[in-house]
C-alpha cells in the first residue's frame, strides 16, 4: 500500500504529491504558514492561554510569523537599530510603554516611524497597556498588528516561547498507533494488517489509554523530547478494526481511556513471525530507533497465532520503567551467570572432578 498526502511549504508554491513507505512517511519539515491571526485564534486553555486580542493594525493580521522568538525593542525605541531583530514578535512591557509616553510628550515620533520601517510581524502590549495615538497611526501605516494581553510580561513571554517552540518544532507523521501504558508512551508500528489496532484495543480494555490511531503526528520539542498527537483532533480517538469498522473509543470506554498527547518513550515494531530470523531472547542489547534526531528504545516483537501481544507490551512498559530507575534485568541476569561460572561449584560441574587439581 502506498500512502499519498499533500505537503504545504512556507513558500507560496503549489502543493507537491509525495509518496511514502507503508510504515513511515514524513510531512514537510517546515511548518505551514503561521500568521498573527492564527496566534490569536489558537484554542489554548488554562496555563497556556495567552489572552490576546487585536487593538489596532487589523489589516496586517495575515502577516506571517517566521521566527519562534521574541524581542524587547528598548534599544530600537532609543534610536539604536544596529542588529535590530525586526522579524521577531515585539513585546512591550511597562518600561517600553513609559518610554513611548516620554517620546510622545517630547514630540519625538520619528524613532517610532523608523521602527515600523522594518518588517515587524506584530507588536504585543502586556499588562493591558495601550500605546498612544501616534503609535497606532504608525502601526496602521505599516500594516502592523497591535495586540494586547492582560498577562504580565514575564508570564506572557514564557507562555508564548513555549507555544512557539512547539509550533515551529521539527515534525513528521508516522503510520502507527500511540498508546499510554503504565504512564509510558508506546508507539506501535508494523505493516498494514499485522494487528496494531487490535493490540491497542486490548490494551485499552485492560485500562490503558489511546492517544492516536492510524496516523501519529510527532514533534521534536526542546531538541530531545518527542511528543505524539493525533493528526486530526476530530478523528484521533477513533479506531478502524477490520471486520468491525470504525469505533469511537471515547463513547465505548469513556474519557478516561483517551488523552490528547503523550511523550513517546518506547517503540514497539510488530512483524510477522519469520522462522529464518534470529530474535533477541535475552534483551541484553539495547536497540534504538532514530526519530527526528532523537534515539528511542525499540523492540521488535514477532507476531504469530497464540502469542499474547498486549501482555508482552505491558511487560515491556514495566521493564522500560525499571530501566529508567536504574535496574536492568538482562544485565543482572548476565552478571549472575558470570558469577556462577566463576564459582568453585560451577567449575567442578563444568570441568568434572578429574579436571580439578
Domain tally, the chain: 3
The catalytic position among 27, 88, 172, 196 is: 196
- What is the percent of the chain where pLDDT is above 70? 85
**Model confidence pTM above 0.75:** no
Q: How does pLDDT run across 46-79, given as a tens digit for each residue?
A: 888 999 999 999 999 999 999 989 999 989 888 8
Split at pLDDT 50, 70, 90, the class of 234 is confident
> In this structure, are 190 and 318 located in the same domain?
yes
**Section 184-195 average pLDDT:** 92
CATH, residue 192 = 3.40.50.300
Instruction: Please indicate, yes or no, if residue 273 is contained in any of the structural domains.
Output: yes
Say if residue 181 is in the same domain as residue 127: no
DSSP per-residue codes, 124-178: EE-TT----HHHHHHHHHTT--EEE-SS-HHHHHHHHHHHHHHHTS-EEEEEEEE
Q: pLDDT tens digits for 138-160?
A: 999 999 999 999 999 999 999 99
Q: What is the pLDDT of residue 262?
A: 94
Q: Which residue has the cell 560451577?
A: 346
Q: What is the pLDDT of residue 347?
A: 61
Q: Is 13 domain-assigned? A: no
Residue matched to cell numbers 503526528: 217
Which one from 58, 113, 214, 287 is the annotated catalytic residue?
214
Q: Say if residue 213 is in the same domain as residue 128.
A: no
- The residue annotated as part of the active site, out of 19, 45, 133, 281, is 281
- Residues 202 and 282 both lie in one domain: yes
Judge whether 281 counts as a catalytic residue: yes
The whole-number average pLDDT for the span 195-199 is: 91
**Candidates 63, 175, 208, 219; catalytic one:** 175
Do residues 93 and 114 share a domain? yes
The CATH number of whichever domain residue 153 belongs to comes to 3.40.1390.20
Whether residues 321 and 354 share a domain: the answer is no
Give, rounded to a whole angstrom, the gap between the first and last alpha carbons of the chain.
Answer: 67
Is residue 198, in this structure, part of any structural domain at all? yes
For residues 139 and 253, membership in a common domain is answered with no
Same domain, 141 and 186: no
The reply to whether 191 and 211 lie within a common domain is yes
Centre a 10 Å sphere on the Cβ of residue 315 and count the other Cβ atoms it contains.
Answer: 13
Helix axes 309-324, 196-205, angle to 10 degrees: 70
With pLDDT > 90 as the criterion, what percentage of the chain qualifies?
50
Q: 21 in helix, strand or coil?
A: coil
Q: Is 214 a catalytic residue?
A: yes
Tell me which residue range forms the domain holding 355: 331-357
For residue 3, tell me if it sits in a domain: no
Amino acid at each position: 500500500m502506498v500512502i499519498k498526502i499533500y505537503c504545504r511549504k512556507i513558500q507560496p508554491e503549489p502543493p507537491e504529491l509525495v509518496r511514502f513507505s507503508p510504515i513511515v512517511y514524513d510531512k514537510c519539515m517546515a511548518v505551514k504558514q503561521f500568521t498573527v491571526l492564527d496566534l490569536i485564534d489558537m484554542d489554548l486553555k488554562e496555563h497556556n492561554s495567552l489572552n490576546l486580542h487585536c487593538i489596532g493594525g487589523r489589516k496586517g493580521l495575515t502577516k506571517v510569523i517566521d521566527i519562534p522568538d521574541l524581542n524587547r525593542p528598548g534599544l530600537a525605541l532609543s534610536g539604536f537599530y544596529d542588529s535590530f531583530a525586526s522579524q521577531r514578535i515585539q513585546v512591550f512591557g511597562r518600561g517600553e510603554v513609559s518610554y513611548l509616553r516620554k517620546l510622545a510628550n517630547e514630540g519625538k515620533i520619528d524613532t517610532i516611524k523608523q521602527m515600523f520601517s522594518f518588517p515587524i510581524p506584530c507588536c504585543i502590549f502586556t499588562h493591558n497597556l495601550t500605546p498612544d495615538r501616534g503609535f497606532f497611526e504608525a502601526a496602521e501605516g505599516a500594516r502592523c498588528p497591535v495586540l494586547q494581553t492582560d498577562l504580565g510580561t514575564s508570564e506572557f513571554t514564557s507562555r508564548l516561547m513555549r507555544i512557539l517552540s512547539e509550533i515551529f518544532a521539527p515534525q513528521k507523521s508516522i503510520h502507527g498507533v500511540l498508546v499510554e501504558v503504565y504512564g509510558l508512551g508506546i508507539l506501535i508500528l508494523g505493516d498494514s494488517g499485522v494487528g496494531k489496532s487490535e493490540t491497542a484495543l486490548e490494551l485499552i480494555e485492560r485500562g490503558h489509554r489511546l492517544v492516536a490511531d492510524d496516523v501519529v503526528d510527532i514533534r521534536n520539542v526542546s531538541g530531545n523530547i518527542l511528543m505524539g498527537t493525533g493528526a486530526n483532533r476530530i478523528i484521533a480517538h477513533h479506531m478502524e478494526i477490520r471486520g468491525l469498522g470504525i469505533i469511537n473509543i471515547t463513547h465505548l470506554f469513556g474519557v478516561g481511556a483517551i488523552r490528547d498527547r503523550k511523550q513517546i518513550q518506547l517503540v514497539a515494531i510488530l512483524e510477522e513471525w519469520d522462522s529464518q530470523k534470529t530474535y533477541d531472547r535475552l534483551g541484553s542489547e539495547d536497540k534504538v530507533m532514530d526519530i527526528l534526531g532523537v534515539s528511542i528504545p525499540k523492540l521488535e516483537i514477532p507476531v504469530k497465532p497464540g502469542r499474547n501481544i498486549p501482555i508482552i507490551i505491558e511487560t515491556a512498559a514495566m521493564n522500560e520503567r525499571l530501566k529508567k530507575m536504574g535496574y536492568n534485568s538482562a544485565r543482572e541476569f548476565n552478571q549472575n551467570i558470570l558469577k556462577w561460572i566463576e564459582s568453585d561449584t560451577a567449575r567442578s560441574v563444568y570441568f568434572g572432578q578429574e579436571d580439578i587439581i
